[in-house]
């Protein structure tokens, strides 16, 4: 097994000026499961392909263990890749598909069979070894693609959105299998996804990218509790965090008629670029439904209620009479607030509920730069 290091690795595609990946510095420990996550076009797949040797590195370098592989051919990097589409040979059996790379490498037949059977046992594919891919379900085909990577016994697994083609239920089941399999094998794994739920549930650590730039690296809990900036705050978490920018008056962020206390050291750290405003984030579970008239509470008009059995979420809007408060936005869109409510006391559509941010559960960011302010 081996560590992986991106040392100021940069990729600029021909004909473009802005790098697809810009000076990426990232160290992945031996045996770690690291998830690269971000919106489409953020550079996560390009980073993975640079590590695989499928994209040139225009500046910086990439190391696997202590070995600089920046200019090494893909076949000599001792990595195995699992793609979004299964890329199985339709005319070959499952066993032949899984062992094909070993066959090309000249591995003895007995060794190939032993490794294929071992991988099939791990992946619960033993009874399908003599079938062709067309006789398998989507989840089974994805497991065959995983098996093809496992039999090579590489130093590093690379996975590029391997669950995107599966239905929702199978995706949940397969991501659990992949995470437990990786822990069993102990192979360093770099996993790319745009699905932040996958990232939170699978990764030992998560690296969030945006526009080719690394935004933050940390454990799922770090990302959720202490996002480094407004982008990470809005991207990590489901449902998304509510975020708004408000004026600071007399030690409070004013959300229309409601207000949130801002610590003195935070007010002192505001810069000219903030223009005496602060960006406040608060998660759906950090809001309490309170009686009308409660101090510092604000009204939310219920648009939709999402009932999930154990949870319920209100997607609501703020009225313009609350001025700046109407600028709050979330994953549901502009001027929308998401509130987690008691699933046994769900308000009706069109009702108005009053909510209040729990003390100490807000996240504060510079209005100018979007960077988190340490409290």
Whether residue 335 has pLDDT greater than 80:
no
Domains of the chain, residue spans: 4-233, 243-366
How high is the pLDDT of residue 8? 95
Whether residue 150 has pLDDT greater than 70:
yes
> How sure is the predictor about 325, in pLDDT bands with cuts at 50, 70 and 90?
very low
Please answer whether residues 90 and 132 qualify as being in contact, where contact means their C-beta atoms are separated by less than 8 angstroms.
yes
Whether residue 64 has pLDDT greater than 90:
yes
Q: Which residue has the higher pLDDT, 165 or 212?
A: 212
For 57-62, what is the mean pLDDT? 95
How high is the pLDDT of residue 324? 47
How high is the pLDDT of residue 246? 87
Whether residue 90 has pLDDT greater than 80:
yes
Segment 180-236, tens digit of pLDDT:
888 888 999 999 998 888 999 999 999 999 999 999 999 999 999 999 999 999 999
Whether residue 332 has pLDDT greater than 70:
no
Give the class (CATH, top level) of 4-233: alpha beta
Segment 257-316, tens digit of pLDDT:
778 888 899 999 999 999 999 999 999 999 999 998 888 888 888 999 999 889 999 998
How high is the pLDDT of residue 170? 79
Whether residue 75 has pLDDT greater than 70:
yes
Q: Is 243-366 a domain of CATH 3.30.365.10? A: no
């Amino acid at each position: 097994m081996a560590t992986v290091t991106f040392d100021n690795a940069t990729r600029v595609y021909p004909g473009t000026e802005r790098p697809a990946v810009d000076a990426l510095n990232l160290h992945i420990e031996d045996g770690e499961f690291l998830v690269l996550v971000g919106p489409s076009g953020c550079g996560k797949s390009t980073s993975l392909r640079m590590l695989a040797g499928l994209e040139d590195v225009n500046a910086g370098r990439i190391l696997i263990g202590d070995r600089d592989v920046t200019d090494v051919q893909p076949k000599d990097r001792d990595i195995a890749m699992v793609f979004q589409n299964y890329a199985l040979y339709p005319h070959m059996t499952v066993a032949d598909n899984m062992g094909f790379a070993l066959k090309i490498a000249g591995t003895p037949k007995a060794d190939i069979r032993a490794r294929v059977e071992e991988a099939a046992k791990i992946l619960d594919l033993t009874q399908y070894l003599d079938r062709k891919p067309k006789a398998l379900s989507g989840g089974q085909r994805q497991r065959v693609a995983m098996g093809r990577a496992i039999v090579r016994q590489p130093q590093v697994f690379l996975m590029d959105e391997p669950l995107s083609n599966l239905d929702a239920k199978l995706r949940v089941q397969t991501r659990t299998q992949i995470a437990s399999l990786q822990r069993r094998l102990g192979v360093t794994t770099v996993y790319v996804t745009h699905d932040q739920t996958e990232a939170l549930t699978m990764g030992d650590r998560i690296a969030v990218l945006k526009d080719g730039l690394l935004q933050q690296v940390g454990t799922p809990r770090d990302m959720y509790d202490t996002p480094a900036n407004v982008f990470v705050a809005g991207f990590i978490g489901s449902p998304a965090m509510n975020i708004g920018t408000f004026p600071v008056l007399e030690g409070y962020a004013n959300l229309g008629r409601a207000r949130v206390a801002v610590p003195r050291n935070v007010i002192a750290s505001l810069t000219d670029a903030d223009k005496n405003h602060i960006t406040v984030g608060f998660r759906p579970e950090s809001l309490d439904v309170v009686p009308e008239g409660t101090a510092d509470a604000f009204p939310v008009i219920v648009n939709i209620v999402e009932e999930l059995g154990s949870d319920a979420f209100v997607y609501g809007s703020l009225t313009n009479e609350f001025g700046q408060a109407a600028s709050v936005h979330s994953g549901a869109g502009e001027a929308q607030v998401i509130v987690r409510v008691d699933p046994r006391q769900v308000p009706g559509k069109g009702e108005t509920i009053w909510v209040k941010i729990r003390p100490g559960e807000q996240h504060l960011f510079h209005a100018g730069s979007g960077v988190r302010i340490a409290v």
